[in-house]
Chains A and B, each alone.
Chain A
C-alpha cells in the first residue's frame, strides 16, 4: 500500500497534474457556484477536454472539478441562498443567516475548513477501505455484479427521487433503453438503429450527459424564467467581511468535524445515498448532539449547523468513490459520470484496477487530497473575487453553457446528427425536469446498461437460461432481498398515499 501511495503521490504531484488540479478546482468552483449547475454539469463540460490528456491527468482534472464544484455549491448556498447542488441545501440553513448577519466571509471560511477536514478524514478512510474492499470484491461473480447494479439503480431511484420512486425507475429504464441503442457487443447485431449509420456505434455517453445536464439545466433556467443574478443582489458580493475564525468557533468545529466525517463517509459508500442524505443526516445528528442553548441557534447562523453538513457532504463525496474504484459500480450520478469517463479512457474500474492500473487508482485518491489543499489555499483568499461571478447575467451565462455543450460534441464527432440528437434529448430532458423526473438515475442506468447486460448474459449462459442464479449464492440472495425491500417499500408507500387520499 505504501508503494501505491508513493506511486500515486508521484503522479499527482507532477507539475502538469498539479496545474490540472488547480485548474479543475478553479473551474469547478466557478461552475458549481452558478445556481442550477452542479458537479455533474461541471464534470460533463470537462469530459471532452480530458480526452486530450492521459487517463491519470484527465481523472485528476475531473476530481479537481468535482471538489471545486461541491465547494462552489456551498458558496452560492451561503451567499445567495441558492444551493448549486442538492448536497449543499443543508449548508444554506445556517450559512445564509450567518451571511445576512454580515459574516459571509466567516461562513465561507467555516465551510471551507469543514470541507477540508471532512475531505481529509474521508480520504484517509478511502485509503484504507478501497484496497481491502478490492480484495474482497475479487470473489464477486457475474450474478453478484448484476444484482449489485440493480441494487445501485433502485437505491439511487429510491433516495434521489424525493418521493418519486416510480418516476426515477422510469428514468432508469429510459437510461437503459438509450444504452441499448447500437450494435450488440457480442454478436454485432444492430439494435434500435433504424437503419441509420449514425446510431450503429450507439449514443455517446458525453452526448447524453451534456444533453441531460448542461444543456437541459440551461434550458430549464430559461423556461422557468428564474434569474440568479437578481437573487445575487440580496447580499453584497463585494464586502463579505472577515474570513477569520475565532477560538470558540474552532472549538465548536473540532467537536463536529470527526463525527460528521464518519457519518458522511459511511453514507457516501452506500449506493444511492450520497452527499445530500449525508448532509441532512449530519445536520440532524449535530442538532441532537449539541446543548439545548446551542440547539436554539440552529437555523439562525450556528457554527455547528454549518460545519456539520459541509463536513459530511465532502466526506460522502470521497465515500462514493469506494464502490466506483473497488466494484466498478458507481453509487451516485456524479460517480456514474466519472465511470463513463473512465470507460472512455479504456479503463475498467473494479477490483482489478488496483492491480492493473495502480498509478491511476492511487493518483485519483491522492489527487483528491491535493484538491482539498488547493481549494483551501487557492480558493479561500480568492472567494471575494470569485463570488462576483454570481452576478454574471444569465443573458451571457446560458448561451455560454449551450455553446460549450454543442462544441464539446462537435469536437468529438464532427457530425450534425449528434448535435441534433443532443438538442432533442435536451428538450425532452427539460420537459421531464419540469415535472420532477430526476436525471441522475437516467445517467447511472445509461452508464451501467452495457455492464448490466454483459453480467446478465454471463449469468444466464452459466445457469443455462435458468434464473436460479439469483438465489444460488448467499451473497446474491442478500442483494436481491435488499432490492425487493426497496422496491416493495416504495410501491407500498404509493398505495398508502392512495388510500389516504381516498379517505
Chain B
C-alpha cells in the first residue's frame, strides 16, 4: 500500500467518523426512548459506521486514479491571505458595519490577488458597495446593519 495525500485524508475521515460515532453514542435520549426501535441516535450511529466503512476501504484499496498534487504549483500565499482577509471581514462586518468592512475586504482582496490599478480597485470597492447597499436597502428593503453609517446619519 502506497501512502499518499488521499490516504491521509481518508485516514482523517476515518478518525472523524470514529469521533462522530463516539459522540453519537453520547447523545442523551429520553428514558422511554432508550429501547425504542428508532431514537435520536440511531441514524447517526449508522452514519458513523458507514463513514468508517467507506474510509477504511479507501485506505486499504489502491487508488483507481491516483492523484498527486504538486505543491510547487499551488498558490498557498495568496490563498491563505485571502482566507485571512475573509476571517477579518467576517469578524468586523457586524461591529464596523457592512459598508466599510466590505469595501476594505474588496480593496485588500484585489490587492492580494495582484491587482495594482488603483483606479479600478477604488471603483470596484467603495462606490460598488454603496450601489449594492442602495439596491438592497433602498430598493429591495433588505435590512442591512451598519452602525457606522447610522452614526454618521446616512442610514436610518
Contacts and interface: CB of A to CB of B under 8 A. Distances in A.
A19 interface: no
B43 A180 contact: yes
A132 B73 CA distance: 53
Given A222-B79, A435-B69, A493 B64 contact: yes
Given A170-B10, A399-B105, A436-B65, A427 B94 contact: no
Interface in B19-42: 20, 23-24, 27-30, 33, 36-42
Nearest to A170: B54
A222 B139 CA distance: 34
B47 interface: yes
Contact of B61 (A177, A464, A494): A494
B151 interface: no
B142 A411 contact: yes
B155 interface: no
Given A222-B79, A434-B69, A419 B90 contact: yes
A407 interface: yes
Nearest to A220: B79
Contacts of A414: 94, 145
B91 interface: yes
A244 interface: no
B145 A395 contact: no
Contacts of A436: 6, 65, 67
Contact of A174 (B44, B51, B65): B51
Given A52-B140, A170-B10, A402 B69 contact: no
Given A177-B51, A219-B79, A219-B83, A453 B43 contact: yes
A485 interface: no
B15 to A, nearest CB: 13
A460 interface: yes
Interface in A397-438: 398-400, 402-403, 406-407, 410-411, 414, 416, 419-420, 423, 427, 430-432, 434-437
B62 A222 contact: no
Interface string B78-120: 1100110011011101100010001001100110011100001
A420 B90 contact: yes
Contacts of B65: 162-164, 436
A252 interface: no
A177 B20 contact: yes
Contact of A416 (B33, B90, B113): B90
- Which of B40, B50, B105 is packed against the most chain A CB atoms within 10 Å? B40
Interface string A17-52: 000000000000000000000000000000000001
A176 B44 CA distance: 9
Nearest to A162: B65
Interface in B114-146: 114-115, 120, 124, 136, 140, 142, 144-145
Contacts of A411: 136, 142, 144
A460 B37 contact: yes
A146 to B, nearest CB: 11
Given A460-B38, A494-B61, A402 B86 contact: yes
A222 B90 contact: no
A177 B50 CA distance: 10
Nearest to A166: B58
B110 A395 contact: yes
Contact of A222 (B9, B29, B78, B144): B78
A501 interface: yes
Nearest to A493: B64
Contacts of B28: 189
A220 to B, nearest CB: 9
B83 A223 contact: no
Nearest to A502: B62
Interface in A176-218: 176-177, 180, 184, 186-187, 189, 191-192
A495 B63 CA distance: 10
Interface of B: 5-6, 9-10, 13, 17, 20, 23-24, 27-30, 33, 36-44, 47, 50-51, 54-55, 57-58, 61-62, 64-65, 67, 69, 73-76, 78-79, 82-83, 86-87, 89-91, 93-94, 98, 102, 105-106, 109-110, 113-115, 120, 124, 136, 140, 142, 144-145
6 contacts: A174-B51, A180-B43, A191-B27, A396-B120, A410-B93, A460-B42
Given A166-B61, A219-B82, A423-B90, 10 more contacts: A170-B54, A398-B82, A399-B106, A400-B106, A403-B109, A416-B94, A420-B87, A430-B79, A457-B38, A495-B61
Lowest 7 CB-CB distances: which A-B pairs, in order?
A465-B37, A399-B109, A419-B90, A395-B115, A184-B40, A395-B113, A173-B51
